[in-house]
Amino acid sequence: MLRTPLGRVRLMLWIQGIAYLAILFTHQPLQAAGMTQMVMVIGNIYRISFLLLLVALIYGKTALNWSLRRPLFIIFASFIPFGLIIMDWIWVKKWTGDSAAEQRAAS
């Protein structure tokens, strides 16, 4: 997965999607329980993963010759719960055609 630029972008999609779900479902219960330190840790993980997603999108845009529309669409999807995971399953594979054939050709 990490051998191709698309694989790196897809990995960051999953990491950011999971980090967003973690902050979405744990922030309020932890805040109510008075665990503000844990809320800060999860928030920082989310922020770092979002910045790494932006770096991966810039890298992917240049390496895969994407138009600006695709990275902006991915950034928009990052604010929707399960948006990045659904985007990986549907849109990224559609944008690249047969991703399995690409990965076999790269190895």
Structural domain boundaries, residue 74: 5-106
pLDDT in tens, 26-47: 988 998 899 989 999 999 999 9
CB atoms within 10 A of CB 69: 8
pLDDT at res. 106: 57
CA distance linking residue 53 with residue 86, whole number of Å: 16
Provide the pLDDT confidence category of residue 55 given band limits of 50, 70 and 90: very high
* pTM assigned to the model: 0.76
Q: How many CA atoms lie within 13 A of 99 on its CB side?
A: 19
CA distance linking residue 106 with residue 98, whole number of Å: 13
